[in-house]
Structure 1
Amino acid sequence: MSEQITDGHSTDGRDDFNFFFGRWHGAVRKLADVSDRDCTEWVEFEASCDCAPILNGLGNFETALMHPGGVAVEGATLRLFSPATRTWRIWWMSERLPGVLDAPVEGRFDGDRGVFEGPDEFHGKPILVRYEWDLLGADKVRWAQRFSWDDGATWDDLNWTTIWTRLA
């Protein structure tokens, strides 16, 4: 049974992504080559997304449309909450890799910051991926990504960041 507080919201973490429900505009900034640890060239483009709850609040689904280099790319994110572990698992998928669901990252929020990590592979090399969520206000949030090439001993600087601003 989930823990409750007086306003009816669960305190176990299942409400952590409720802030992201709705429509958002994204200002994206990513390294031109996220696999090149020496890359210093950044590319910027616009994105939009819609996020809605699923499974009676135990998950949410986001559809996103990005425009890198002026080309539309569609992607989606599935987030599922585990009450037993009080953690979220997050999967990404996009039309760039049809039929592939990325390995999930897992983690939780601590206040206004969420950190989610998981193993992945990049160009045949094992890596850890970290997603970072930072609430910047009621209608603004930052999502960011970084990699570890040494099993979490060190983390690269950010290689992708999106500032999401609420539209509706």
Structure 2
Amino acid sequence: MPADDFAFLHGEWTIANRRLKTRLADADDWEEFLSSASVRPLFGGAANIEEIHYPDDGVSGLTLRLYDPVRDVWTLNWATSADGRLFPPVQGGFRDGWGEFYGDDEYAGTPVLVRFVWSGISPGSARWEQAFSVDGGATWELNWIMDFSRTA
């Protein structure tokens, strides 16, 4: 797993978001909105920092991605301006243009296994998906999709 796996993400992006309003309730109530992101490399590409802005909510988010060459794994760390809290990280990597990252967290007091997937990667676009599992990964609820389009 090279340290530049996330090089595709460096730069400016417009993001079409599709997010499940009610999670872990077998719901189908999706909301759609736009956001923008700026991603810059650190440590020669072995890390990057992303700042994302959700103008409708007045909230910003931050992702710090770090590559560990000893363990050959990426760690993704997320925080929002809404609560100033660093969420538990997800870890993983890429294979054949597909990235999968997993971590333990909780949602509304319920322990969840979190999965992030990166796919559809091209010079001008990428897709990120988030899903939760309450049964150790046997089943997944997809609850957020972000379609990234590079800003000229």
Give the TM-score band, short-chain normalised.
Answer: over 0.9
The question of whether the paired residues in 1 share the 8 Å contact of 2:89 and 2:103 is answered with yes
How high is the TM-score relative to the length of structure 1?
0.86
Whole-Å separation in 2 of the counterparts to 1:107 and 1:94: 22
3-state SS of 1:154 partner:
coil
RMSD of aligned Cα (Å): 1.2
1:149 paired residue number: 134
Q: State the 1:35 CA deviation.
A: 3.5
Measured at CA, do residues 28 and 79 of structure 1 come closer, stay the same or move farther in structure 2, by a change above 3 Å? same
Whole-Å separation in 1 of the counterparts to 2:151 and 2:29: 29
Q: State the 1:75 CA deviation.
A: 0.6
Whole-Å separation in 2 of the counterparts to 1:34 and 1:91: 21
Query: In the alignment, which of 6, 11, 14 is matched to residue 3 of structure 2?
Result: 14
Gaps of 5+ in 2: none
2:30 paired residue number: 42
3-state SS of 1:56 partner:
helix
* Structural mapping, 1:119-138, within 5 Å: 119-138=104-123
Number of aligned positions between the proteins? 152
The question of whether the paired residues in 1 share the 8 Å contact of 2:19 and 2:144 is answered with yes
2:68 paired residue number: 82
Query: In the alignment, which of 134, 143, 147 is matched to residue 163 of structure 1?
Result: 147
Percent sequence identity over matched residues?
Answer: 38
2:50 paired residue number: 62
Q: State the 1:31 CA deviation.
A: 0.6
3-state SS of 2:44 partner:
helix
Q: State the 1:148 CA deviation.
A: 0.7
Q: Runs of at least 4 residues of structure 1 off by over 4 A?
A: none
